[in-house]
Amino acid sequence: MSAIDDLFTRLRKENRKALMPFLTAGDPDLEFTAAMIRELAARGASMCEVGIPYSDPIADGPVIQASYTRALNKKVKLAEILKTLGAVTPQVETPLVTMGSYAIIYRHGVEKYADALVRHGVAGMIVPDLPLEESPRLAEVCKSRDLSLIQLVTPLTPRDRALRIAETSSGFLYYVSIAGITGERTELPDELVERVGWLRENSPLPVCIGFGISQPEHVRLLAPVADGLIVGSAIVRRMETAETDRGGTLREIGEYVASLVAELG
């Protein structure tokens, strides 16, 4: 079992749900990234998603795109990101996963990338643009290393295809709440609860919801039907002040995440 399997097994026994913050690696620098992971873990985050900056993100809205641009302008490199994660993983119990384009993984080398994650203590990878038809190879590579391969299901994914995605996924399924790009929303689709409920009934994997979640009422609405909630843009937007006020930004994000964790009970 992977570290993520262990996490959800424990959470289910405790009748708890996961809160999973997202942050961009290298924004504003990797020292802050490490400090942010430690802060999120201390504030009760169940898992942290670390975005690998990419010049052409497929589903990210303007807030996360801007953070990627800031990091890339600082010339952050994949090897440096992984080295930072390798240094921080022994300091926290919270599993880490990377969120990165398949183009980065493919260019780096599928097995080489997976081996690097294992070597640096990372529990899995989210690959938002991995085509279903190309996922079996990466799934096998991950399975042989006890890495979780987390794949995405969207509101536009036909149900038969969603089940096929689940078959090559591990750790949990990432359910995209809206048909669109990442970003904070005041309202979420009415049919979201029903769709996630169906997916949980038809797949043994935990189902976690991301895209648009930012408010306590979102947490209260979705926690009963989901195994976990993913918060990205609302955190990354708050990181925009980190360049000039590192301590204040850490505290603000930490308090924000703690408030969402409290809503999960």
Catalytic residues: 49, 60
Contact 216, 260 (CB under 8 A): yes
Structure tokens at 20: 């999973």
Q: How far is CA 173 from CA 11, 33, 80, 115, 152, in A?
A: 16, 25, 28, 22, 6
Structure tokens at 14: 């405790």
48: helix, strand or coil: strand
Strand partners, 229: 19, 209
Angle at 195 between CA 190 and CA 197, to 5 degrees: 110
d(CA 241, CA 221): 30
CA atoms within 13 A on the CB side of 165: 24
Contact 174, 153 (CB under 8 A): yes
